[in-house]
Chain A
Amino acid sequence: MMPPPVPTRAPGPEGAVSPTFLGYIWRWLMGISFVARVRGLAMGTVSWGRALVTAVPFLWLFLFFGLPFLVVLKISFSQAVIAQPPYTPLLTWLDDGVMTLRLNFQNYILLAEDSLYWSAYLNSLRIAAIGTVACLVLGYPMAYAIAKAKPEWRVPLLMLIILPFWTSFLIRVYAWIGILKNNGLLNNFLIWLGVIDEPLPMMHTDFSVLVGIVYSYLPFMVLPLYATLSRMDESLLEAAADLGCRPGRAFLTITLPLSMPGVIAGSMLVFIPSVGEFVIPDLLGGPNTLMIGKVLWTEFFANKDWPVASAVAVATLLLLVVPIVRFQKAQEESAKKAEERV
């Protein structure tokens, strides 16, 4: 992850939920920081050296995110043809020297009309949501335990969370096939224990996809949760106990509400990539596991329909950007309200 640009607003007041991480991503995407930067340069309030340093990530984003996105956007408005490249150009020169722009909305209409895409989107959202909740339920106790562990234990425990990243993602997902398949490790173990007589069909189901998602994205939930929990003021819990609050209740009334920034950041980090996930449903999912990432792949590589595939990609992005933007807006408004009350 690249360092975020200089914040354009002062850090939120203590305790206020401020998912600055998402705010930065949003500003990156929208180039708000960039505009502020350029204005600063023009007014002489920002030095050229600093501008140069922050320009590097912007250039990177423009080259490897902005431009490809524009290309995808362009293709999504064209028609599929059997040619090289397999789509029609948007701009054409007519004989009389007039340039015409032909936008084809057919791909988007198809997305709206064909229930396949709708159900793929909904199923992706459903699986991503279940996966996110599962990550939260598993990850919160882990993050809590690490944050409460003795200081000398925290780094080794965090290392254990990060360690799987040292192996290729693909290999790790493949390994789950060996565990979940009918004569895999888990089924053999359960039969050996005598819990079951015949193998449970776990592979190629929504269950195996969820296992893959939870396994792969759990660290993205644990790390932001750990960051908020470890920074929490221990004396707040002591004060709660002193005022007659039992530990369980103190967790619900103090710890949990104060760790909401971590919960939100972790959930976003798990939910967003899960929606567009392709590798996990492809390897672990079955023919009935309909996810938008797989649909996208099929359109591109099996059907060779680049325009429809591009439309699917753009729609997926919009699907995710809209809720993030609305969430961010709400956060900024509540922060502003908090400031006004002072």
Chain B
Amino acid sequence: MPVAQGARASHNLEAWQDPKARPIVQIENVTKAFGPHYAVDGISLDVYQGEFFSLLGASGCGKTTLLRMLAGLEAPDAGRIIIDGTDSTLIPPYRRPVNMMFQSYALFPHMTVEQNIAFGLKQEGASKAQIKERVGEMLRLVRLEPYAKRRPHQLSGGQRQRVALARSLAKHPRLLLLDEPLGALDKKLREHTQFELVNIQEQLGTTFIMVTHDQEEAMTMSTRIAVMDEGRILQVGSPSTIYEYPATRYVADFIGSVNLFDGRVTGSADGLLFIHCDEVGANMAIAHGEPLTAGTPVSVALRPEKMVVSDVKPDKDANVLRGIVSEIAYLGDVSIYHVELPNKTLVHVQLTNLARLTSSPLTWEQDVWLTWEPENGVVLQS
């Protein structure tokens, strides 16, 4: 599957790489169990000012529990949560400089759009004039001015989502938490809203922490992503790091699609690891920073778009797989080939349709060779 290119053209503001930067959120060894089940299992994480940080994982991985602990809606069993320099572990939600956008939006059904947005400001004891001004600002921000007097049930799903966003931003939170903010929208609206959210975040400079199970959404919107599974964080990094250098098999598999081959290290030289994969009977040479001792079991991850498929046998010994084309999916911009290896393993390869494709040189049941460059593969140890 094609992974969307980041909506942010560049973010040179990589605070997490600046040793002097002070994190706005520090999560230290936080654990939360529901009965015998650990929803969050000893997580430590720093998030910096101005980040759009995503907690990504399948349902039940503990990402929502972690978010709710940041909001103060759940208390951790162990560990500390420091928000903006203050230990907030036991501070109740109504005293945190944090606001949350709920997955269900949780709009107050008996209040108008205006009243919903004003609710938080009223709790602060802001004056009528201040409230009016801020509500107007927020309505403009989410472009809902004509709907100020409506009630939530008179709005469409997308409009409700924007009311929820406006309400959670009205109090100038130091940190905004978003629980699956786009989950209830249809695909088209979701894509549109992704960009809108990113624009609003960049405009305001507020730190966003978003929970999502949608890897594409996380890739598009985030400055950094934490991939979670079973209450632990498997990897934290920018979308491109997570995609290009996954740390574990789970991460490689969860983000985008990937072909995984199990093998053993046979040797190393010049930053290359030599690996023999028994299963598919092939030798591979993959770029890897640190040499590993021979015999170490590893997995090689190869992204579908990082391989080349050809009907001519390439002139090399390593990084070549032979198979037959079993399936071709033409998607317009790209075509995806399913190539069956002699041991029946299916390998997915993606080719960009550069030229207009009237008659493909590759066809079903054709003998083909797959090949890739050493730096296009990733060696995984777990």
Q: Interface of A with B (CB < 8 Å)? A: 13-16, 233, 235-236, 238-246, 249, 253-254, 257-258, 338, 341-342
Contacts and interface: CB of A to CB of B under 8 A. Distances in A.
Contacts of B92: 241
Contacts of B152: 14-15
Interface string B79-113: 00000000000001111001110101011111000
Q: Kindly name the residue among A13, A236, A241 whose own CB sees the greatest number of chain B CB atoms within 10 A.
A: A241
7 contacts: A239-B107, A243-B120, A253-B119, A258-B109, A338-B154, A341-B150, A341-B154
Nearest to A258: B110
Given A241-B73, A244-B94, A254 B153 contact: no
B276 interface: no
B151 interface: yes
Contacts of A243: 94, 99, 119-120, 123, 167-168, 171
B123 A249 contact: yes
B151 A15 contact: yes
B109 A14 contact: yes
Interface string B38-52: 000000000000000
Interface in B182-239: none
A238 B154 contact: no
B110 A238 contact: no
A242 B100 contact: yes
Contacts of B120: 243-245
Nearest to B120: A243
B71 interface: yes
Q: 6 tightest CB-CB pairs across the interface, nearest first?
A: A15-B109, A243-B120, A244-B123, A239-B106, A235-B106, A241-B93
B153 A13 contact: yes
A235 B73 CA distance: 10
B18 interface: no
B124 interface: yes
Nearest to A260: B110
Given A14-B109, A254-B108, A341-B154, A239 B102 contact: yes
Contacts of B107: 239
B68 to A, nearest CB: 8
B29 to A, nearest CB: 24
Nearest to B93: A241
Q: Kindly name the residue among B92, B123, B154 whose own CB sees the greatest number of chain A CB atoms within 10 A.
A: B123
A246 B72 CA distance: 13
B99 A242 contact: yes
A294 B178 CA distance: 63
Contacts of B168: 242-243
B104 to A, nearest CB: 5
B94 A241 contact: yes
B191 to A, nearest CB: 26
B171 A236 contact: no
Contacts of B149: 341
A236 B153 contact: no
B106 A245 contact: no
Contact of B153 (A15, A238, A244): A15
B102 A240 contact: no
A244 B150 contact: no
Contact of B94 (A233, A242, A257): A242
Interface in B284-334: none
Given A235-B104, A235-B106, A244-B120, 14 more contacts: A15-B151, A238-B102, A238-B106, A239-B100, A241-B72, A241-B92, A242-B73, A242-B99, A242-B100, A243-B120, A243-B168, A245-B119, A245-B123, A341-B150
A253 to B, nearest CB: 8
Contacts of B95: 244
Contacts of B106: 233, 235-236, 238-239
A245 B151 contact: no
Q: Kindly name the residue among B120, B167, B171 whose own CB sees the greatest number of chain A CB atoms within 10 A.
A: B120
Contact of B110 (A15, A235, A245, A249): A15
Nearest to A235: B106
Q: Kindly name the residue among A236, A238, A239, A244 whose own CB sees the greatest number of chain B CB atoms within 10 A.
A: A239
Contacts of A258: 109-110
B168 to A, nearest CB: 8
Contact of B119 (A13, A240, A342): A240
B104 A233 contact: yes
Contacts of B171: 243-244
A142 B154 CA distance: 34
A246 B171 CA distance: 16
A186 to B, nearest CB: 42
A341 B100 CA distance: 29
B184 to A, nearest CB: 13
Contacts of B150: 341
A19 to B, nearest CB: 15
Contacts of A239: 100, 102, 106-108
A267 to B, nearest CB: 19
Contacts of B94: 241-246
Nearest to A243: B120
A69 B104 CA distance: 50
A88 B92 CA distance: 75
A234 B279 CA distance: 53
Q: Kindly name the residue among B102, B108, B154 whose own CB sees the greatest number of chain A CB atoms within 10 A.
A: B108
